[in-house]
Amino acid sequence: MEDNFRHQGKRKLLVEKLKEKGIEDSAVLDAILQIPRHLFLDSSFEDHAYQDKAFPIAAGQTISQPFTVAFQTQLLALKKGEKVLEIGTGSGYQTAVLCKMGAKVYTIERQHELYKKTSLFLKKLGFRPKYASFGDGYQGLKEYAPYDKILVTAGAPFIPKALMAQLKVGGKLVIPVGEDPQIMTVLIRKSQKSFEKETYGEFRFVPLLEDKN
Ligand code: SAH
């Protein structure tokens, strides 16, 4: 699990590229600069780790493109110590970014293989989400609700009601909505009953699936 000067140099270039593409939250850029993304890919694909591309991981899933991770995280407008629920743990890279930024992270993955592999791996690298769970993101994680921020990292055909219900008043839900492509959507909870919606253009994610295999 090496992280050498070559990797670090490539990360610097990636961060420069993300800045050019409009990412300006320095805490987000700093997390990306520090986290060894190449370790989240199979070692044979190491060369792809610092290109701004999505990439296949286990169980037919993908690690999101660095720009997408940076963009979604920037939309969260995260403050240290906030409670964040992530839907779709996947490779754990986004989870690591949130941990690095000082969030209290709760994360859910519906594929058992990925859930097991990633939970162990994050521990090995020293990233400690408060809780990593195996389950269905459509249900959220009621036991620990409400959350300051909720981040969905798969394409949702609609906005799950349970996630809206588990958001604090003043909190934000960032979710790509639609079939293909998805529209990056932010819901801000203004009061117990009212939400404000903002949209941020088209993205492509693997689908948020309802039935477990
Ligand atoms: N955040 C991840 C992105 C992985 S892709 C990363 O940085 O690598 C999206 C992930 O969402 C996949 O791992 C997929 O298995 C998972 N997923 C799909 N539907 C889900 C659901 N209903 N609940 C929880 N996770 C789900």
Residue 42 placed within a domain: no
Q: Which amino acid belongs to residue 4?
A: N
In the residue annotation, 119 being an active-site residue is answered as no
Looking at this protein, which amino acid is placed at residue 169? Answer: V
Q: Is residue 178 assigned to a domain?
A: yes
Please check whether residue 213 lies inside any domain of the structure: no
Rounded distance between C-alpha atoms, residue 138 and residue 43, angstroms = 32
Asked whether residue 8 is assigned to any structural domain, the reply reads: no
Which one from 26, 43, 44, 64 is the annotated catalytic residue? Answer: 64
Q: How far is the CA of 31 from the centre of ligand 1 (A)?
A: 21
124-182 pLDDT, tens digit per residue, is 999 999 999 999 999 999 999 999 999 999 999 999 999 999 999 999 999 999 999 99
Please compute Rg for the chain using Cα positions.
Answer: 16
Q: Please provide the size of the chain in residues.
A: 213
Position 198 in a domain: yes
> Is any ligand 1 atom within 6 A of the Cβ of residue 73?
no
Domain annotation covers residue 97: yes
Give the DSSP H/E element, type plus range, for residue 45. Answer: none
**Domain for residue 44, yes or no?**
no
Percent with pLDDT over 90 in the chain: 90
Q: What does the alpha-carbon distance between residue 63 and residue 196 come to, in Å, rounded to a whole number?
A: 29
Range of the domain at 145: 56-203
Rounded (10°) angle between helices 93-100 and 112-125:
40
CATH of residue 178: 3.40.50.150
Buried b (16+ CB within 10 A) or exposed e, 9-23: ebbeebbebbeeeeb
Count of Cβ atoms closer than 10 Å to residue 180 Cβ: 9
Q: Where are the beta strands (DSSP E) in 35-82?
A: 55-56, 62-63
The verdict on residue 143 lying in a domain is: yes
Q: How many domains does the chain have?
A: 1
Give the pTM: 0.97
